[in-house]
Amino acid sequence: MIRKIDHIGVAVKDIDEAVRFYRDNLGLGIEGTEEINEQKVKVAFIPLGESRIELLQSTDPTGPIAKFIEKRGEGIHHIALEVEGIEETLRKLKEKGVQLIDEKPRIGAHEMKIAFLHPRSAKGVLLELCEKQE
């Protein structure tokens, strides 16, 4: 079951510069930064109400964020939906013919279980499902 929009992921070339923009110009707080080696990214989360903005900077020129920026430039990369029961949600989506990037969840930022749906199935939008671990 989908509960809410957890965050919107924004691909950036320079995470420090992006943090300064959101902090200094918009007055938003930063939860801190974290590197996720498996995904070749450094992330910073900016809380905003019940949701967050996730800034993503590639830590590897061959990583998915670097490739995204090379092809499309900086900007919105994905929308993350918080779900309850991510494994069951993925199973049901697969049964309905939704193309999954991840058939099983992996661990993302904040030790959350995450899985991505292919943009071809979501009308051109990369959707991330995420579930907080208890």
pLDDT of residue 1: 83
pLDDT digits (tens, 9 = 90+) for 34-57: 999 999 999 999 999 999 999 999
pLDDT of residue 134: 73
CB 31 within 8 A of CB 45: yes
The strand pair at 51-58 and 2-11 is best described as parallel
Assigned CATH class of 2-131: alpha beta
Q: Which two tokens stand for residue 8?
A: 């919107």
Helix or strand holding residue 7 (H, E)? strand 2-11
Domain residue ranges in the chain? 2-131
pLDDT of residue 32: 86
Q: Which residues of the chain have pLDDT under 50?
A: none
Please return the burial class of 61, using the count of CB atoms within 10 Å of its CB with bins 0-12, 13-18 and 19+: exposed
CB 22 within 8 A of CB 66: no
